[in-house]
Structure 1
């Protein structure tokens, strides 16, 4: 996606994507970080970031999943009781029940040589829980978000939980994407012996940023099964064979062989 500053416009894109994905035979639709609202102007964005309890979008997205009989992951900013925000990933099931969610744990605070500066922690509160969801179309699904991918301990925890797949929705900058996106995602898949599904923001956005794109699906061996490129928003399809997980874990039993390292 190339998400913008208006949640209604972004929701229309998500709704159409769900219909197109279901028509194409998909059982699950993965969307990028901040799919519903991407705006680095926090003063402008603030009126559109609501507590989950009062936002109309959870119910509308749940209805979209139910109407199309498809699972969906959707990245959103959500206001917490503290008044700060969470960078949240919702997971909607076709049953229409309330979404499961994960709040991004690692905050992106950096000044780049290009002059870009990001201070996610100035407004967003980090999540505190490792989250997995049972019985999705891709098996046991672990949830992470974007910058999390630089912190292997989180993926070690998901590996210990024997996740079959890990979602990593993202809005990666272009310079860091060119340098690290593919290698980090392949490494996380290999370490966890799991599929990695990384839906990414792409292109030039209304708030002035530019994102790297290259939505990826990586198998447990580290092989890239899908790379959607870095130019335009689109819908990509990938078949995932969960039998591949057992094959890889029998060939490289790193999860079984792992030992705790003393400090």
Structure 2
């Protein structure tokens, strides 16, 4: 199965971002990609975190979801829409602060080649970081998800691939990926917008670790460059095999990263080193 992860440097104009995403997806599809993954916040990296609230959509309705559905159907691909801001699937709990109603979920949606939304994953772990120069706290505008999500892709190679969904900061929590491995996942997706500061030290080693410890492919789309708000993201969108080898990557700026995922090679790797069967705790 040929897989493509997209790298972007999204800015403050949603229409420009969506147009570029469409062009990159078309390029990847023309190269033969069957499963395509956009980065976290492909649609908008605004001047302020709260800017995403203004473009939040209800599940099943809205121009961003329509774009993803139309693109998947037009190109005949499995499309993972990076993330977009979606309003919570449930109403705020009784007694919740009024600001809770203003939060959105950082949601990764999966569309089939028929344009049908077949899965929704809401980012579980919300990023917070403060080194005295950079400060981030996603909980100010985001509501966390709680449920791991997988979906199955009946590939043109004759195999059905099980895919586990995650987003960016989730990468630091290996128990999520181990749960996916226990559920039979062959591939872990990590659409991201890693900061340059954390990415240069942790990005590749974490991605390769998640692949190695779960004997699974990892596909990580990324934001990579200097954005309109002067935030710099690390980039290095990459595809990693179950042995931890980086199959392909792109350092910075927008582009497409492609590689073939081999089902037989994955099984051979798991048979050669059956670590998933050796778990004790």
Q: Same fold (TM over 0.5)?
A: yes
- Which consecutive residues of structure 1, in runs of 5 or more, have no partner in the other structure? none
1:123 to 2:141 alignment: yes
Q: Residues 141 and 166 of structure 1 are in contact (CA less than 8 Å); yes or no, is this contact kept in structure 2?
A: yes
Root-mean-square deviation (CA), in Å? 1.5
- Which consecutive residues of structure 2, in runs of 5 or more, have no partner in the other structure? 1-7, 93-100
Match of 1:9 among 13, 16, 24: 16
User: For the residues of structure 2 that align with 1:136 and 1:85, how far apart are their CA atoms?
Assistant: 32
1:238 to 2:271 alignment: no
CA distance change for structure 1 residues 136 and 14 in 2, over 3 Å: closer, same or farther?
Answer: farther
CA distance change for structure 1 residues 40 and 104 in 2, over 3 Å: closer, same or farther?
Answer: farther
TM, length-normalised to structure 1? 0.93
* Residues 91-144 of structure 1: per-residue CA shift (max 9 Å, x gap): 11111112411111101011024x110111122111110110012547100000
> Match for residue 79 of structure 1?
87
SS where residue 238 of structure 1 aligns?
Answer: strand
Match of 2:223 among 182, 191, 201: 201
Structure with the larger RCO, 1 or 2 (CA within 8 Å, 6+ apart): 2
TM, length-normalised to structure 2? 0.87
User: For the residues of structure 2 that align with 1:217 and 1:44, how far apart are their CA atoms?
Assistant: 31
SS where residue 260 of structure 2 aligns?
Answer: coil
4+ runs deviating over 6 angstroms: none
CA distance change for structure 1 residues 256 and 145 in 2, over 3 Å: closer, same or farther?
Answer: same
CA shift for structure 1 position 237: 1.6
> Match for residue 181 of structure 1?
203
Aligned length: 258
CA shift for structure 1 position 85: 0.8
User: For the residues of structure 2 that align with 1:195 and 1:24, how far apart are their CA atoms?
Assistant: 20
Match of 1:224 among 246, 255, 274: 246
CA shift for structure 1 position 26: 1.1
CA shift for structure 1 position 197: 0.3
CA distance change for structure 1 residues 121 and 217 in 2, over 3 Å: closer, same or farther?
Answer: same
Q: How does 1:117-156 map onto structure 2 within 5 Å?
A: 117-137=135-155, 139-156=161-178
